[in-house]
Amino acid sequence: MKLKKVLLATTNAGKVKEMKRLLGFYGIDAEVPDEDLRIEEGSSSFLENAYLKAQAYWERYRKPTLADDSGLVVPALGGYPGIFSSRFYSHEYGGKEEVIATKDDANIRKVLRLMKEVKDRRATFVAFLVLNLGYSGYWSKGECNGVILTEPKGSGGFGYDPIFQPEGSEKSMAELTPEEKDLLSHRGKAVRNLMSIIKNGGLT
């Protein structure tokens, strides 16, 4: 049986756009849920959070569901923002940051503030995917290593893209074309890994 359509367990516009593009390459249509279930991410791991999201959307819609839990891991910040990436601005660690424009912008300001005097600027974007088919399931992972820049550059992508420069690139993630980002990104790698696990969309 071939996988033709999945429900994305997210309403995050940045993720949805990338997922639609990445899955479209394999002839898989990505459907967006009509409600945000606001899953309590109670666990301490990306994989478990992805599982919780995939399970909750499966329970609600009973359709093949694909969840992504992802984030930016910075060793010099003890692994933060990590699983707290989407709401790092409001986390106690390092003090809270006021939301003036967008949450993404507040998250970026907080990372730059905490990294101001820091020499070790290594960082890794991590994505875990969980595909819930009800009767079975699959998971995959993708990583993208790079460094944290000293100021934001570019306007593409979403989240922390303007302050992250992938290894081997002269540009920030937000300066890459969508196709260039897909090739290097944690999400691109995680989708390709998942597709090779389920044999390019065929669930044999």
Peptide bond into 166 cis (omega under 30): no
For ligand IMP, the closer of residues 55 and 107 by Cβ is 107
Which of 34/117 has CB closer to ligand IMP? 34
Closest CA to 77 of 42, 125, 121, 126: 121
Active site residue 161: no
Q: How near is the Cβ of 31 to ligand IMP at its closest, in Å?
A: 18
Q: Which residues of 11-36 are buried (b: 16+ CB within 10 A; e: fewer)?
A: ebeebbebbebbbeebebebbebeee
User: Looking at 34, 36, 68, 69, which residue is catalytic?
Assistant: 69
- Provide the 8-state DSSP code for 113: H
Whether the CB-CB separation of 71 and 81 falls below 8 Å is answered with yes
- How far apart are CB 185 and ligand IMP at their closest, in Å? 6
Instruction: Tell me which residues touch ligand IMP (CB under 6 A).
Output: 12, 69-72, 85-86, 107, 125, 157-161, 185, 187
**Shorter beta-carbon distance to ligand IMP: residue 31 or 105:** 105
CB of 173 to ligand IMP, least distance (A): 6
Shortest reach from residue 133's CB to ligand IMP, in Å: 21
Q: Which of 64/82 has CB closer to ligand IMP?
A: 82
Strands 137-148 vs 65-73: parallel, antiparallel or unpaired: unpaired
Alpha helices of the chain — where are they, by DSSP H?
Answer: 13-24, 46-61, 103-114, 178-184, 186-197
Residues recognised as catalytic? 69
